[in-house]
Structure 1
């Protein structure tokens, strides 16, 4: 089982500033992920050539199920509006997160998170990046109950606030929402905090501790694959992780390969 998370920066290359369909598709294909969580995903945006990046990632992955969950309608950093709880904004330019799965999905679940009510400094991506005072945006958690090869499990993706402490509160809300769904549970995403903080706040186990940002020469880990210890006894112990270089985004993708052991015993059996 290969799980991956990737903040794609709406497919934009830091070298030429362009979003290219085939470049995006080829990079996603090389991840070879069975379940892929994407953040900073555009749909129908002028800046990304009106591409549906979620559908393109699903095609590249050979997926049987995929979904995009917008965090906002409009363009981040410009003009946008928040969504109502049950709104999809399908006919408008939007920005959010995606899940792509090679296995069937039993059900989808969306949890909306409020952005921080204050501006905070953030480093703009690319060469010569500078700190900008930005207002925070609404966030979203997209979860799926997936029919995996060893049975159903819950996988979710999110992109949390860049505002310290506020993102910790968002992570607690995300964990609370996911605990209502079947175990085992995995969270893929750009949490905008290091692994130790993500583990302490969530109580979940990081499946990889490796730098993912900035893409050119990673120094910190902002992107994570977290496993809820509750109900995860049948999952493998020490997965392998990689952060391949790709020709776009300011983050590296994080890929975790989990090597399954023997299936867990059924209650009442002696294992013979």
Structure 2
């Protein structure tokens, strides 16, 4: 089984413009994975042409089943014009009552069971640059941390968990430890996939997991640090043919690996 993870940055291309539905499908069409975890996914957002990005990415990947976990209702911005969304878990037959924002897990393989975990939000704020709506001048804003979640898909003897953790390291560590407790109750080996916002070997040590890919992933144009991870929790799995690749979407490199029984 080949697994992958990528942060699509709400569909932004490396050149800046946001891709439409056809562009998103094309961006992942060559990514030959059975299961893909995706972070920073929009649905019904004006900034991304109102596209249901999880559905478009699933179509490009040829994924028969998927779930999106919206953690934000509204458009994330420094003015706090959004509110927590639950998280709201929806799939191919549930239209987006947008605008929404969150993560998704796409699968070409039959999924026996879906589940979701609310990881909450931290109190930290991230400095970002953007235009002042009153003057149009670019200035610094303090962007609040949004709620986070994890989605799990049970695929026979293997479970894949997708997540996107806080940009504040102390909060990300707390969320990862909560994930560790959640994963402990899952059957069979588990692979955690996503943008964990924690560097290098740290997530593997905290999760007591084996890294399946050891490659820098951010920024995509010249990666210096590994923030994206595929981690095997428990015995029974090994990885081969690990790869970090640049896609026509997102600001992180996509990580992929083939997992086989140990």
**TM-score (structure 2 length as normaliser):** 0.88
- Quick check: 1:211 aligned with 2:212? no
Aligned-pair CA distance for 1:120? 3.5
Conserved? CA contact 1:122–1:162, under 8 Å: no
Unaligned runs of 5+ in 1: 125-129, 265-272
- Quick check: 1:116 aligned with 2:122? yes
Determine the structure 1 residue equivalent to 2:2: 2
The 1-side partners of 2:88 and 2:251 are apart by: 31
The 1-side partners of 2:245 and 2:188 are apart by: 29
Instruction: Considering fraction of residues, name the structure with more strand.
Output: 2
Aligned-pair CA distance for 1:205? 1.1
Aligned-pair CA distance for 1:14? 3.6
The 2-side partners of 1:161 and 1:103 are apart by: 29
**Residue correspondence of structure 1 range 175-214 to structure 2 within 5 A:** 175-214=180-219
Per-residue CA deviation, residues 129-184 of structure 1 (Å, 9 max, x unaligned), is x986321110010111113xxxx211010000010111000011112112222121
Aligned-pair CA distance for 1:87? 7.2
- Quick check: 1:63 aligned with 2:63? yes
Aligned-pair CA distance for 1:92? 2.3
SS in 1 for 2:201: helix
- Quick check: 1:29 aligned with 2:29? yes
- Quick check: 1:75 aligned with 2:75? yes
Aligned-pair CA distance for 1:101? 0.7
Determine the structure 2 residue equivalent to 1:47: 47
The 2-side partners of 1:206 and 1:66 are apart by: 25
- With over 3 angstroms needed to count, the CA separation of the structure-2 counterparts of 1:93 and 1:30, relative to structure 1, is same
Determine the structure 1 residue equivalent to 2:158: 153
Number of aligned residues:
249
Conserved? CA contact 1:211–1:222, under 8 Å: yes
The 2-side partners of 1:188 and 1:82 are apart by: 23
Determine the structure 1 residue equivalent to 2:134: none
Give RMSD over aligned pairs: 2.3
Structure 1 window deviating more from structure 2 (78-87 vs 92-101): it is: 78-87
**TM-score (structure 1 length as normaliser):** 0.84
Per-residue CA deviation, residues 8-67 of structure 1 (Å, 9 max, x unaligned), is 001112414232322211121111110000000011111111111111111112222111
The 2-side partners of 1:180 and 1:203 are apart by: 15
The 1-side partners of 2:87 and 2:48 are apart by: 26
- With over 3 angstroms needed to count, the CA separation of the structure-2 counterparts of 1:122 and 1:243, relative to structure 1, is farther
